[in-house]
Amino acid sequence: MFIHSGIAHLAFNILALAYLGGYAERSVGIPRYILIYILAGIAGALFHSVIASYVLGSGHVILIGASGAISGVLGIAAAAGNARAYYWLILQIVFAIFGSFAAIPIAFTAHIGGFIAGVFLTKLFIGIERKKRAKYLRPSGNNNHDTWWGK
């Protein structure tokens, strides 16, 4: 997740982060952002490995770059409601299909796996946060019925 094949590879990843990275970070906070980045990178690599090994038969190719991790960041943005992130996913799916026939050496399946992981993890963290907040906002049992949602 921290190695790149050259300046162009690094530039494209920075461009993707500039696209929606700030929005994603503000949506979930820095600690969750970093956690999702790392977990999505791992999930993207695993997704790519399964697809490359069992579907495409190209599991011997070395995987480098932050494709899954950065895609996870874009997954955060999608889960947080930014529809622009889905345009990027559609583009990656098109490239994955085309790339598998044209032998383009880009791990588009890692992008897709990272994106899915980013959406899933963000939804999971949002659900956990909502449960925590609901626990603290429940009425305390007094009979005046003043709650956070009204009387």
Contact 73, 36 (CB under 8 A): yes
Per run of 10 residues, the mean pLDDT along the chain (length 151 residues) is 82 86 92 96 92 72 82 94 86 74 74 93 92 76 47 41
> How far is residue 68's CA from residue 74's CA, in Å, rounded to a whole number?
10
- Give the pLDDT score at 9: 80
- Give the pLDDT score at 151: 41
- Give the pLDDT score at 73: 94
- Give the pLDDT score at 39: 97
Mind giving me the DSSP string for 4-41?
Answer: -SSHHHHHHHHHHHHHHHHHHHHHH-HHHHHHHHHHHH
Query: Cα–Cα–Cα angle for 121, 124, 127, nearest 5°?
Result: 150
Contact 66, 13 (CB under 8 A): yes
CB atoms under 10 Å from CB of 2, counted, come to 8
- Give the pLDDT score at 140: 57
Q: What is the pTM of this model?
A: 0.79
The set of catalytic residues is 67, 111
